[in-house]
Chains A and B, each alone.
Chain A
Amino acid sequence: MSKMPKWADTILIPLFSILLAFFFSGLVIFAIGKDPFNAIMVMIDGAFGSTGGLGYTLYYATNFIFTGLSVAVAYHAGLFNIGSEGQAMLGGLGVALVCLFIPFGHWTIALPVAVIGAALFGGLWALIPAYLQAKRGSHIVITTIMFNFIASALIGYLLTRVLKVPGAMSSETARFPESTHLPTFHEMLAPLGIMFNKNAPANLAFVVALVACVFFWWLIWRTRLGYQIRAYGQSESAAKYAGISPSRIIIITMMISGALAGLMAINNVMGEAERLIDNAVEGAGFIGIAVALMGRNHPVGIILASILFGFLYQGGAELALWEGIPRELVVVIQALVILFTGALDNMVRMPLERLFVALKRKEG
């Protein structure tokens, strides 16, 4: 028996959660003697007020869409992939190897190959924990967390010992050749007569992310594999009854999940940095967990949640820059949003459900 209409579940609950988070963030800002209303205006203006700010917001959002989809696809199979962070790091390695060592004439050729490289490296990185879960029963949450550390160490090693440009001071690869440069929003929109800030990092990868969302929707709700993934995620015993092999679903789903996380590198490595640097993922893999949770594991929700977190990242940076609000406090605000939308979901849900039950009874 559904206690609430669907629209309330998908729209009202996240909305209330965000408002609550903003309310408490406001209290925190007020407590350090700043004006919360001014702060929110600075954030909104910084994130959406100019094409420069918007470019950053969408750039961050692109990262979160990929990692959010990664977490969500695993979640549909009942698997909690905490390893999107590490998988995205490996995706970066895949992109870097493709861009550095295969000569491309033009980005249109480089992009599909880089997509394959990113997906393959991310997917294979997820394969190991998936195999251990499927065949050996090692819990995927533990192994994927551990694999984040291994990924970080591996990339660190490669960047300082193997891929580093000899004589350079920083631990990063050489810059990718000019022919692998992905069009930025500025370059994409200028022919249409729309002026977009030249320095904003948003690039073609945003479009790739939207394509990934469509792919995700098709996969989960239109294909037989998606049907099997959802069935397994709902009930392992039912899946077995129906002739769905659990180990097969675990391995395939986790590889798709890893591949989606790996694709993030198209944005941050190929589209923005144009070289592989250390810690390029910057926690986007973990934000992906919150994004998937808040977006109800649906691509549309994930896009919206990604833009919200993009806003928090970009607006938060502006807040730190212009208002003298410490960077740490911005992290507190982000944490409050995650806390209220994710962990405290039931706090909002329960009273709302009760309200709807009461309303229904009045009607009936």
Chain B
Amino acid sequence: MVTRTAEGRQETAASFAPAPTVPYAIELKGISKSFGPVQANKNIAIKVAKGTIHGIIGENGAGKSTLMSILYGFYKADSGVIEIDGKRVNITDSSSAIAAGIGMVFQHFKLVENFTVLENIILGAEDGPLLRPSLSKARKLLRELSDEYELSVDPDALVENLSVGHQQRVEILKALYRQADILILDEPTGVLTPAEADHLFRILEGLKTQGKTIILITHKLREIMEVTDNVSVMRRGEMVATVKTADSSAEELAELMVGRKVLLQVEKTPAVPQDVVLDIKGLRVVDGHGVERLRGIDLHLRAGEILGIAGVAGNGQTELLEVLGGYMAASGEILMQGAPLDLSGDASDGQTRRARGIAHVPEDRHDEGLILDFPAWENVCFGYHGDPKYQKNALFMDHKAIRDDAKGKIERFDIRPANCDTPAKSFSGGNQQKIVLAREIEREPALLLIGQPTRGVDIGAIEFIHQQIVALRDRGAAILLVSVELDEIMSLSDRIAVMFDGRIMGEKLPQETNERELGLMMAGMSTPQKDA
């Protein structure tokens, strides 16, 4: 492992001596943290060698985020020691983490949208009451860094005008400006195209060469295999293994994460498409700022097939789902089983759509799919609360009928904890998704809209959710699948349409395409050169 350490200041020390005498960049000893009865981190020990890329992988709720929050001073550990460069440090808040040389790039960027890149970089780290000295210092640094690491960003651009990949670079630059030696990235590729992700990895490699230590938190096994030197696997709050990436495999890591063998591939038979269920013609959406979000979408979808919409988040997929769900206004035409849908975007049409057999598992279950403070039973009728089977009479809802329905769904979908009075917010991501899925799938819809079905869902539940989607297809439903996970699109879809900038860039059959081609289309390159 030390031999893999690249050139840098530490290199001399590293090459003489085995690990014990070289101080690790970070060493955590016996970190424990509880939230009430839940122990999020149990006696975690981890050693991260200087100048390496160290992956931390684990399912949702495995404790990765808690551990990183402790390292960055958002939480205080109940017990345990943090050592940086062999010296014990006491990290009480983010400023002491920064002082200890730790920089963090969050999954959701913390940038001021209407500030320039430079203003964002110095924010909170100004040298004095006047901005000019800090700004010119930052400008100089930016010039150096962009030459060294492909970290080029226009220093005077407004952040809101930058692409997501560039915004992420600003976050990295912010950390470097604060002289971070250790950079923590939390799920950095979630919002990037494959090409942008590759660029990010090149940046990380460059930083590593300069002796920076990088901790990469992700749930994507492929990335771990691609860029990390070592990887630590967390499961249920415990650190179950730390291995050299080169000595491991994706299958082994998946098994370590879940604690049992998992199928990474979806088992399904070829689709038998029937009649056209959904026919979308010339669909356009203009948002409140006058920006065109959908620029003429044409799609059709047949019963018994899964149409996957691939694309980087923010290219119109959300708008497409919301228009189909009935709560975003659009122009154009949508025919559902031959009859047009109301495109006024008045939400009350959602009831009619459900009655016509359109079910919708929304992209964001926290914000849309569930009322988090409602108990599970009140969530199983959400959206279908007007259904006669949930009513006692004209005035009152039939709580007993709803609860009985909820109990049935909890059993059939193996939702845990199996208590319909538990508030939705207290379920894990996978179980929350199962509540939404049970609600929508058990309507036996003619058309299922499903966005990001496995976002924030643990691997064990992913298997189950994928099986349910395929089973619904086999029962004759048309399924529109939107996902930013290319793997998921590739393995579930019978047909793939790629969206970029509000347009469909093209359609492919999964067996006739590959991630590279789709990735190019996702980045806006149409594929006229396709083996012509």
Contacts and interface: CB of A to CB of B under 8 A. Distances in A.
Nearest to A357: B36
A242 B325 CA distance: 9
Contacts of B370: 238
Interface in A246-268: 246, 248
A7 B103 CA distance: 43
B347 A1 contact: no
A360 B332 CA distance: 58
Contact of B391 (A224, A237, A242, A248): A224
Interface stretch (B227-235, B378-386, B481-489): B378-386
Interface centre among B347, B352, B399 (most CB of A within 10 A): B347
A244 B367 CA distance: 14
Contact of B396 (A222, A242, A245, A364): A222
A361 interface: yes
A222 B327 CA distance: 26
B64 interface: no
A243 B35 contact: no
Contacts of A230: 371, 374
A105 to B, nearest CB: 32
Interface residues of A, number: 28
B348 interface: yes
A234 B367 contact: no
A245 B344 CA distance: 12
A327 interface: no
Nearest to A238: B368
A242 to B, nearest CB: 4
Interface string B300-325: 00000000000000000000000001
Contact of B382 (A242, A361, A364): A242
Given A223-B396, A231-B382, A361-B34, A241 B369 contact: yes
Nearest to B345: A240
B225 interface: no
A38 to B, nearest CB: 45
A228 interface: yes
A245 B346 contact: yes
A222 B397 contact: yes
A158 interface: no
Contacts of A244: 347-348, 350
Nearest to B351: A243
A227 B383 CA distance: 11
Interface in B351-399: 351-354, 360, 362, 364, 367-374, 378, 382-383, 385-386, 391, 395-397, 399
A224 B386 contact: yes
B163 to A, nearest CB: 25
Contacts of A179: none
A28 interface: no
A235 B372 CA distance: 9
Contact of A238 (B34, B367, B385, B395): B367
Nearest to A363: B37
Nearest to B37: A364
Nearest to A361: B34
A24 to B, nearest CB: 32
B277 to A, nearest CB: 20
B453 interface: no
Contacts of B348: 243-245, 248
A361 B350 CA distance: 45
Interface in A321-357: 357
B495 to A, nearest CB: 26
Given A235-B367, A238-B367, A238-B368, A227 B397 contact: yes
A239 interface: yes
A3 interface: yes
B349 interface: yes
Contacts of B383: 241-243
A76 to B, nearest CB: 11
Contacts of B37: 360-361, 364
B95 interface: no
A338 B370 CA distance: 34
A241 B371 contact: no
A248 B351 CA distance: 14
A356 to B, nearest CB: 8
B531 to A, nearest CB: 42
A357 B362 CA distance: 34
A238 B374 CA distance: 12
Nearest to B35: A1
Nearest to A226: B397
Given A1-B426, A357-B36, A361-B34, A242 B385 contact: yes
B326 interface: yes
B405 to A, nearest CB: 15
A100 B360 CA distance: 56
Contacts of A3: 36
A239 to B, nearest CB: 7
Given A1-B38, A227-B397, A360-B37, A234 B374 contact: yes
Contacts of A242: 350, 382-383, 385
B327 A241 contact: yes
Contact of B371 (A234, A240, A246, A364): A234
B374 A231 contact: yes
Contacts of A235: 367-368, 371-372
Nearest to A248: B348
Given A231-B382, A243-B347, A361 B36 contact: yes
Contact of A228 (B326, B364, B385): B385
A231 B36 CA distance: 28
Contacts of B325: 241
A235 B350 CA distance: 16
A227 B426 contact: no
B36 A238 contact: no
Nearest to A235: B371
Contact of B36 (A1, A234, A241): A1
Nearest to B34: A361
Given A1-B35, A224-B385, A227-B397, A238 B369 contact: yes
Nearest to B370: A238
A7 B367 CA distance: 28
B377 to A, nearest CB: 12
Given A224-B385, A224-B386, A238-B368, A243 B36 contact: no
Nearest to B367: A237
A223 B371 contact: no
A227 B391 CA distance: 12
A241 B382 CA distance: 9
Interface centre among A235, A238, A244, A360 (most CB of B within 10 A): A238
Given A227-B378, A235-B371, A240 B327 contact: yes
Contact of A243 (B34, B354, B371, B378): B354
8 contacts: A222-B399, A231-B374, A231-B382, A235-B368, A242-B385, A243-B350, A360-B36, A364-B37
Given A245-B346, A245-B347, A361-B37, 8 more contacts: A1-B35, A237-B367, A240-B368, A241-B325, A243-B327, A244-B348, A244-B350, A360-B36
Minimum-distance CB pairs A-B, first 7: A243-B350, A245-B348, A242-B383, A241-B368, A240-B327, A243-B351, A240-B347
